[in-house]
Amino acid sequence: MATRSPPESIRLPALRQRWRALPDNARGAFWVTLSALLFTSMSAVVKSQGAHLDSFQLAFLRASFGFLLILPFALAGGMAVFRTTRLGMHITRGICGSIGLMCGFYALTHLSLADATAIGFTKPLFLIVLAALVLGETVRARRWSATAVGFLGVLIMLRPGDGVLEPAALVALLGALAAATVSLLIKRLSASEAALTIMVYLGAVSVVTTGIPAALVWQTPTLAELLWMLLAAALASSAQLCMIRGFHIGEASALAPLEYLKLPLAAFYGILLFAEVPDLYTLLGALLIVLSTLYIGHREAQLGKRPTAPRANAEV
């Protein structure tokens, strides 16, 4: 006589107990790995739609759908969510975030996925420079050296001496600089503003800021294109939630390297969906960028600071 499997009501609590019995870093690693997969999937969706719509319009649709996804939570929070004494900084943050979004989408639609992803990892390098120039933080020789190595990796990928300098790569660098600026602004805003308030103003400003250039290149999207961009917005929002959850559970220093799973995932999607095979320059340059940002994150962890590496592509 065949034995019956235990009912669902018994199996689920057992699975929860096994999940909770795992080490914190193991559970955090699951969420960060899932975040990397979702972020890279979003990038692949955006790149695929770049064959039909301009990158400015894609950025506007991403910003609009992202704002609509968080709006119910904002409305549920009442008027307190919209109260702020730092409106100017919210607007500045939103504009910088929009620039980063538009540059990132332009790079995704004009570069290979691997190239765009690798250049996006330069955000921690720009953070080092901005922290020294804007915040007046002391940056010692080791982190300056690691930053120089990272930008050397960028030069290897760009190959400026070969006459094949890709303008989209410079746009990708501008996007990374904008994302680094956003990180500094969030650091200041989070001292007095609630996370939901920051997200609401980011969404509202991004819709307006990306809407202006999108109007200049607008073409009516099909229902399928709208659904794909709704999926992109959902993937990006889910990826950010997974990343936040992962770093809340586990140790940042242990989970930071998992963010770089985006690079092999991007290469895999590029080969599978777009017939993009990374060349030697891409591989070598990306390796130097990853190693330098990992070292910067390690040094900041030693100094008792929060590593910047895990937030490399969170703004897209």
Give the HSE-up count for residue 70: Cα atoms under 13 Å, Cβ half-sphere.
23
**Residues 87/180/198/24 CA torsion (nearest 10 deg):** -160
Contacts of 9 (CB under 8 A, 6+ apart): none
Separation of alpha carbons 278 and 289, rounded Å = 15
Pair 118, 278: CB distance under 8 Å = no
HEC per residue, 14-58: HHHHHHHHCCHHHHHHHHHHHHHHHHHHHHHHHHHHCCCCCHHHH
The confidence score (pLDDT) of residue 123 equals 87
The confidence score (pLDDT) of residue 4 equals 58
The confidence score (pLDDT) of residue 246 equals 86
Contacts of 47 (CB under 8 A, 6+ apart): 108, 109, 113, 273, 274
Residue found by looking up tokens 């120039």 in the block:
133
CA 139 to chain centre: 25
The confidence score (pLDDT) of residue 161 equals 58
CA 112 to chain centre: 17
Pair 116, 43: CB distance under 8 Å = yes
Q: 228, 236, 218: which is closest to 104 by C-alpha?
A: 236
Phi and psi, residue 86, nearest 5°: -130, 50
The confidence score (pLDDT) of residue 3 equals 54
Separation of alpha carbons 240 and 31, rounded Å = 10
CB burial readout 156-174, b (16+ within 10 A) else e: bbbbeeeeeebebbebbbb
Measure Cα distances from 159 to 116, 170, 177, 284, 288 in Å.
15, 12, 20, 12, 14
The confidence score (pLDDT) of residue 309 equals 44
Q: Average pLDDT of each block of 10 consecutive residues along the chain (316 residues)?
A: 54 72 82 92 95 95 92 84 87 93 95 91 86 77 86 82 72 92 84 83 93 95 95 90 84 78 92 91 88 80 53 44
pTM of structure: 0.84
Residue found by looking up tokens 């390297």 in the block:
257
Q: Tell me, what DSSP letter sits at residue 67?
A: H
